[in-house]
Amino acid sequence: MQSNKLNAAVTAVGMYVPEKVLDNKYFESIIETNDEWIRTRTGISERRILENGATSDLAAGAIKDLLSSKNLSPEEIDVIIVATVTPDMFFPSTAALVQEKIGASNAWGFDLSAACSGFLFALQTGASLIESGKFKKVIVVGADKMSAIVDYTDRNTCILFGDAASAVLLEPTEDKNYGLIDSILRVDGNGKESLYMKGGGSLNPASEETIKNKMHYIYQDGKAVFKVAVKGMADVSVEMMDKHGLKGEDVAYLVPHQANLRIIDATASRMGVTKDKVMININKYGNTTAATIPLCLTEYYREGKVKKGDKLILAAFGAGYTWGSCYLVWSMD
């Protein structure tokens, strides 16, 4: 008997990147680095920085772009899920602030914290709400103002990150060939000290001491994260491909979290996906944490490079550790 389970399909996309560009030359003027090192070690040429405003402004900008692209009114939104590690404040949630900024008067929503895997965790969460049959229009937005937690005197991290937001709309489809087909998601707290912001939470509340010790900034052991990121993203993505009988050539695009071009290349190669089928925009935006994957989807779709029926493997790795792979079949013309 045919099950009448609903799939969650991506039916609209939107993005917001701030105007201000910081190129690699700028960093040569503030720290001991150079354009060549940054480009060859990371793949980044420039990143965007939000000068005035907060993560909710980035997220609201992306959702407004999404709504206008589909001629939707904000009252139609049922749920807003904001994946972020840079909420405007601890509470209320960024989702509440976004709801007000866009006027989504019939929505509920919440923030989700899974760092660079945030979009994938939120996508699965949003899809589950759609699959339940109870909610018809769920917005999943990845939004991070990384410049708020970056130490611009630390050359190990400050060149990596940028600010951005990007959103997708999930709606139900009865056609099981489209939408989010499957996800494999993981969390492992053993990675907690390789990538974190130590201060400001209930463990180390803000104090003169935490400020003096720079505990309100990102700390990353880049080398340690690099190794596990390649293995983590590739392992779950290969598991996903095997589970669904997909070979490298069946995948229209690998849509990887944009942390480092070398990590992306190594992951694609382990998956047997050729370079021409890997979405890349790290050169323009750097690592925008929860925003990287939807930002790639939005740009590639708008450039006419993603077609209905395309099989996409989304893959991410981030703080926690968190990581995962999602199998999404594109449903927009």
- Assess whether 158 carries a catalytic annotation: no
Which one among 252, 263, 268, 329 touches ligand UT7, defined by CB under 6 A? 263
Q: Residue length, the chain? A: 333
Taking CB under 6 A as the criterion, the residue among 13, 80, 229, 280 binding ligand UT7 is 229
CA distance 186 to 81: 19
* Catalytic site includes residue 116: yes
Which distant-in-sequence residues (6+ apart) come within 8 Å of 3 by Cβ?
A: none
State the Cα–Cα distance between residues 7 and 267, nearest whole angstrom. Answer: 28
Choose the catalytic residue: 24, 260, 281, 287. 287
| Contacts of 188 by beta carbon, 8 Å cutoff, 6+ apart | 320, 321, 322
Q: Which residue from 223, 303, 304, 333 is in contact with ligand UT7, where contact means CB under 6 A? A: 223
CB of 259 vs ligand UT7, minimal distance in Å: 3
Among all residues, whose Cβ is closest to ligand UT7?
222
**CA atoms of 295 and 279, how far apart (whole Å):** 10
Instruction: Pick the closer one to ligand UT7 by CB: 41 or 216.
Output: 41
Q: Report helix, strand and coil shares of the chain as percent, to nearest 5.
A: 40, 25, 35
Indicate which single residue of 64, 101, 136, 155 sits in contact with ligand UT7 (rule: CB under 6 A).
155
Q: How far apart are CA 108 and CA 103, in angstroms?
A: 12
Q: Measured between alpha carbons, how far is 58 from 98 in angstroms, rounded to an integer?
A: 9
Question: What residues between 62 and 121 interact with ligand UT7 by CB under 6 A?
Answer: 116
| Cβ proximity to ligand UT7, 41 vs 277, nearer residue | 41
Q: Which stretch binds ligand UT7 (CB under 6 A): 71-79, 84-92, 257-265, 275-283?
A: 257-265
Which 265-294 positions form the footprint of ligand UT7 (CB under 6 A)? 287
Work out the angle at residue 75's Cα, subtended by the Cα atoms of residues 71 and 76, and round it to the nearest 5 degrees: 65
Which of 222, 248, 270, 277: binder of ligand UT7 (CB under 6 A)?
222
Rounded CA-CA distance 169/138 in Å is: 6
CA distances in angstroms from 54 to 90, 201, 206, listed in the order given: 13, 19, 20
Give the span between the Cα atoms of 134 and 7, in whole angstroms. Answer: 13
257 is catalytic: yes
Q: Does 255 bind ligand UT7 (CB under 6 A)?
A: no
- Site stretch for ligand UT7 (CB under 6 A), options 35-43, 70-78, 95-103, 264-272: 35-43
Is 33 among the residues that bind ligand UT7 (CB under 6 A)? yes
**Listed ranges 32-40, 145-153, 197-205, 307-315: which one lies at the site for ligand UT7 (CB under 6 A):** 32-40
Catalytically active residues, by annotation: 116, 257, 287
Interface residues with ligand UT7 (CB under 6 A)?
A: 33, 37-38, 41-42, 116, 155-156, 159, 222-223, 225-226, 229, 259-260, 263, 287, 317-318
